[in-house]
Structure 1
Amino acid sequence: MRILGLVGFLIVITFSIKCKNHEKDVLHRNDKYVSIEGRQFIDALGRTLTLHGISVINKDPKTNYLGHISPEAFKMFKEWGFNVIRLGIIWDGLEPEPGVYNQEYLKGIDTMVQWATDNDLYVFLDMHQDLYSVDFSDGAPSWATITNDQPHLTGDVWSEAYLISPAVQTAFDNFWANAPAPDGVGIQDHYLNLWKFLAERYKDHTKVIGFDVMNEPFMGSEANKITPLLLESYAKVMAEQSGEAPPSLEEVMHLWNSDKMKVLESLSDKETYKKWLDVIYEVNANFESGTLTAFYQRARDEIRKVNKNHIIFTEHSYFTNMGLVGALGEIVDGQGKKDPLVAYAAHGYDLVVDSDALTLGSNDRVELIFERIAETGRRLDVPVLIGEWGALHGKSPDLIPTANFLLNQFSRHGFSDAFWAYGKFLLEASFLEVLQKPYPVETSGILEHYSFDYESGVFNCTWEERETINAPTRIYVSDLSRLNKNTMQLTPEIEGVIIEEIENSRAGHLVVPTSGKNVKRKLSFNLIK
């Protein structure tokens, strides 16, 4: 969200003792694939799986959306400790004509999936769009972009078009209404047929863990209600802070456009931010609980016709990225019971994203965004993966605490994550070391909590080990030479902890063998600065 342009059967039975409300999950467990237990991802060996990775995408139609990355990059991702790739795919590249799929592009996607597999990285496919269409940015092909001849307007920042372009808004309206394409088939039907095709193509692939149905869904022309509400709400904030009469909407608009730094400062504390933002909850909730949930249900029903083993990732709306309370509904099976393989791929961005003020973010706002995402995850009783976060395009050392604070939010709430996004700038980014945090990749039981303090180098992890799990717990460490073995503490103590190096790298994993008991385990260590 760029608002300034306005992340074994016995084993299952054991887990079900703690998660009694997930009996359907147990019935659907397939021990070849990544699955779900309650609000946690589970690997094929029954361990809690923490996903930590990065988005990879090419949005350039001139290259057939390919050729932007090499197999060496995937080796680098493994060394950085990533274990998942959010692989962006583009509808325009996949279906250049109605019902005709681009085999060259599909083979290119297959190649990247294989590069990930070669490096033991999971993949989930993200059907990406920005401003709906290749006609305006990226996403839908021109034949599926029905604007009713409305004009396309742009602003100073690319994403302003969501709010001001009648063409973009109308294109979304027609997508949600399933308006007919040139061949007479509904454009949403085409989109879901494509997902069904992809779900079948990868149904036997155990490293492809699932499908992110749509990037940052936008409500269309209903969004015209949003800006006036936010401007009026901000006028009230200004009045409360100044003790004077509320300014006019024109004065508020002028301030928003001319002095964004003042606006950011005035919305920096949590309570004020909530008061300003929550006025648009009802408009957004109507879209999420109605149109968007119904769309995800249709997508689920099509995918499940051919694929019953992969996870369906649902995203909230574009506006929820800002920290609104989410209103997505439950996605169900044919009997009306919750589909056990649905996860919440939320996005979270502070107001400073896509601006020159990246270092002026508010920790209060960021905390609220991820507290509310966690609230939605609990309500839906699904795992949360922050499918997009970051967008930290800069070399300033001031971005180090920003990235660190964000990652700490994820460990605090038990989120998985995928950083936005891979680019060569990362090789020189000040915060790259922060991204390479120690974390429990796989845990031999139920992961309760983990944390890493970047300043002190202290790592802590607690989990409920299960006697039925025979595979070890594995903790990623970016530089094994920094591991102070004298500070390592493990309870209960057990012999056989080993260090597993990543080939041709200073990175590796601490491998903690199971105790063979149902017991709480604790591990801590320090990394030397």
Structure 2
Amino acid sequence: MNTMRILGLVGFLIVITFSIKCKNHEKDVLHRNDKYVSIEGRQFIDSLGRTLTLHGISVINKDPKTNYLGHISPEEFKMFKEWGFNVIRLGIIWDGLEPEPGVYNQEYLKGIDDMIQWATDSGLYVFLDMHQDLYSVDFSDGAPSWATITNNEPHLTGGVWSEAYLISPAVQTAFDNFWANAPAPDGVGIQDHYLNLWKFLAERYKDNRKVIGFDVMNEPFMGSDANKVMPLLIESYAKILAEELGEAPSSLEEVMHLWNNDKMKVLESLSDKETYKKWLDVIYEVNANFESRTLTAFYQRARDEIRKVNKNHIIFTEHSYFTNMGLVGALGEIVDEQGKKDPLVAYAAHGYDLVVDTDALTLGSNDRVELIFERIAQTGQRLDVPVLIGEWGALHGQSPELIPTANFLLNQFSKHGFSDAFWAYGKFLLDASFLDVLKKPYPVETSGSLESYSFDYDTGVFSCTWQERETITASTRIYVSDLSKLNKDAMQLNPNSKGVSIEKLEHSKAGHLVIPPSGKDAKRKLSFLLTKK
């Protein structure tokens, strides 16, 4: 009853005519217009001029034994649509695409085409992610062996796969040679090969309205300059311990021992925002030097090559590997031939708490997570581009304690107006404790500028505010995972309008609440309640 009273204060009781309509995919935006998804300010815009909120999932096969294919079916793309996802971050692998210098794998390209078509058939957008972990197929996935130049340095591994970034001379040297554009066996620079491949892909998909853009590189890593990072972080942690204990640790070796053998104490020490900032920010200069110079120059080169053949697709740029943890980003602006900001660039930031890839997933810190996404928002504002959280989650456990973790993360995205893509699809998700949290209600398309929206998972209350535009004649659409839980009597819309309807997905409980435009410039507010059944 208290929730009902709160909803009663929001606006006028809507006079609503609900018509249950089984809608086939021809009603999806992707099939109604031949325009491309675009950008306006810091928002994505669909083909009908509406603000587009992207909410989706990463799909990738990293197994060279299967030619990086065969891991997913058309039925799973239909399932993603029912879950409320409207975009797929489709991982593609350089090793699979270019097994020999300048030779492109037609079988793999055909497989990528098939997956794009399956997504299209299910009403889903796609953006392509050139994925790498530890740079190369020789160490994990990414570059082919011929493009992996290690200068015969040894490869070292740690207890967690990602530790190799910090301790493997082979991985670091391979990145150094990539950034330096060292020659491949055919004499062409390896970075040149990489960008030629992107140019080829950009031309291949230049007329495809369902592919919305290109994520140039997954989690770029700085190379051997990373050797400056850990000493700074260990020294910074020693100072934090000294403040906690009232005296300095006896030696840095003692600090290292604690760091390596008592992760729970480390996590607890760095759990509040101010302490975490103090610890982390000591590596800002090292990271900023890489992002503002090497990485920005690389993205500019990628943009210039892509734009030679494709002027309609979005280029997604990522920050560096270390910025995932919450550093202030230092990427520079990507510009056109006149030196003006390229209007089709978006920021595909990644954000992960320190517990990622460990057994301590349920011990994450909301303070740390909040800082990560506050700083991502600051970078998006500075660059004046839309933000899509291209990776988040990696929640591979089944504990119910992961439900509030996923909920808090998604609330950060709605708070800052981010789009997102969960990492990553696997069969475990079918039984994941937090799956219902991923299937949140959200404004898929908004007939104007989306100002804010929120969903309280515990109370079931959804609210949304947008500035509607008279010139947009298409409806606002809100995804709802189970339409039977929609409490029609508690719905509020201000200004109200007739003709609000429910658009049900075929053979599913899920669908969309469809709100016709008011036909004028006006601020609109919507709220509704999903009951617990």
Class of the TM-score when normalised by the shorter of the 2 chains: over 0.9
Q: Identify the residue that residue 158 of structure 2 maps to in structure 1.
A: 155
Q: Identify the residue that residue 394 of structure 1 maps to in structure 2.
A: 397
Amino acid across the alignment from 1:333: D
Q: Deviations over 1:416-460 (max 9, x none)?
A: 000000000000000000000000000000000000000000000
Q: Map 1:176-255 onto structure 2 (within 5 A).
A: 176-255=179-258
Q: Identify the residue that residue 478 of structure 2 maps to in structure 1.
A: 475
Offset at residue 252 of structure 1 (A): 1.0
Q: Deviations over 1:15-41 (max 9, x none)?
A: xxxxxxxxxxxxxxx970000000000
1:508 aligns with 2:508: no
Partner Cα distance (1:279, 1:229) in 2: 6
Q: Identify the residue that residue 376 of structure 2 maps to in structure 1.
A: 373
Instruction: State TM-score, norm by structure 1.
Output: 0.94
Q: Identify the residue that residue 287 of structure 1 maps to in structure 2.
A: 290
Amino acid across the alignment from 1:104: E
* Paired residue secondary structure (2:56): strand
Moved more, 162-171 or 30-39: 30-39
Q: Identify the residue that residue 174 of structure 1 maps to in structure 2.
A: 177
Q: Identify the residue that residue 431 of structure 2 maps to in structure 1.
A: 428
Q: Identify the residue that residue 19 of structure 2 maps to in structure 1.
A: none
1:327 aligns with 2:299: no
Offset at residue 249 of structure 1 (A): 1.5
Q: Identify the residue that residue 275 of structure 1 maps to in structure 2.
A: 278
Q: Identify the residue that residue 464 of structure 2 maps to in structure 1.
A: 461
Partner Cα distance (1:232, 1:464) in 2: 49
Partner Cα distance (1:183, 1:103) in 2: 21
Q: Identify the residue that residue 95 of structure 1 maps to in structure 2.
A: 98
Partner Cα distance (1:171, 1:371) in 2: 32
* Paired residue secondary structure (1:115): helix
Q: Identify the residue that residue 261 of structure 1 maps to in structure 2.
A: 264
2:249·2:255 contact (CA, 8 Å) conserved in 1? Answer: no
Offset at residue 245 of structure 1 (A): 1.9
Partner Cα distance (1:251, 1:212) in 2: 42
1:297 aligns with 2:300: yes
* Paired residue secondary structure (2:181): coil
1:460·1:522 contact (CA, 8 Å) conserved in 2? Answer: yes
Q: Deviations over 1:279-308 (max 9, x none)?
A: 000000000000000000000000000000
Q: Deviations over 1:108-151 (max 9, x none)?
A: 00000000000110000000000000000000000000000000
Q: Identify the residue that residue 362 of structure 1 maps to in structure 2.
A: 365
1:235·1:247 contact (CA, 8 Å) conserved in 2? Answer: no
Unaligned runs of 5+ in 1: 1-29
Q: Identify the residue that residue 52 of structure 2 maps to in structure 1.
A: 49
Which of residues 308, 317, 321 is equivalent to 1:314? 317
Offset at residue 248 of structure 1 (A): 1.9
Partner Cα distance (2:503, 2:449) in 1: 23
Q: Deviations over 1:147-187 (max 9, x none)?
A: 00000000111111000000000000000000000000000
* Paired residue secondary structure (2:192): helix
2:491·2:527 contact (CA, 8 Å) conserved in 1? Answer: yes
1:126 aligns with 2:129: yes
Higher relative contact order (CA 8 A, sep 6+): 2
Offset at residue 246 of structure 1 (A): 3.8
Offset at residue 247 of structure 1 (A): 4.1
Q: Deviations over 1:358-385 (max 9, x none)?
A: 0000000000000000000000000000
* Paired residue secondary structure (1:463): strand
2:34·2:209 contact (CA, 8 Å) conserved in 1? Answer: no
1:346·1:384 contact (CA, 8 Å) conserved in 2? Answer: yes
Amino acid across the alignment from 1:215: N
Partner Cα distance (2:73, 2:368) in 1: 37
Offset at residue 412 of structure 1 (A): 0.1
- Alpha-carbon spacing, 1:247–1:446, altered in 2? closer, same or farther (3 Å): farther
1:226·1:280 contact (CA, 8 Å) conserved in 2? Answer: yes
Partner Cα distance (2:350, 2:342) in 1: 22
Partner Cα distance (2:437, 2:202) in 1: 34
**Paired residue total:** 500
Q: Deviations over 1:212-242 (max 9, x none)?
A: 0000000000000000000000000000111
* Paired residue secondary structure (1:486): strand
Instruction: State TM-score, norm by structure 2.
Output: 0.93
1:387·1:419 contact (CA, 8 Å) conserved in 2? Answer: yes
1:137 aligns with 2:140: yes
Partner Cα distance (2:97, 2:261) in 1: 41
Amino acid across the alignment from 2:229: I
Partner Cα distance (1:441, 1:392) in 2: 24
Partner Cα distance (2:34, 2:102) in 1: 34
- Superposition RMSD in Å: 0.7
Which of residues 512, 519, 522 is equivalent to 1:519? 522
Which of residues 450, 472, 475 is equivalent to 2:453? 450
Which of residues 82, 86, 93 is equivalent to 1:83? 86
* Paired residue secondary structure (1:88): strand
Q: Identify the residue that residue 344 of structure 1 maps to in structure 2.
A: 347
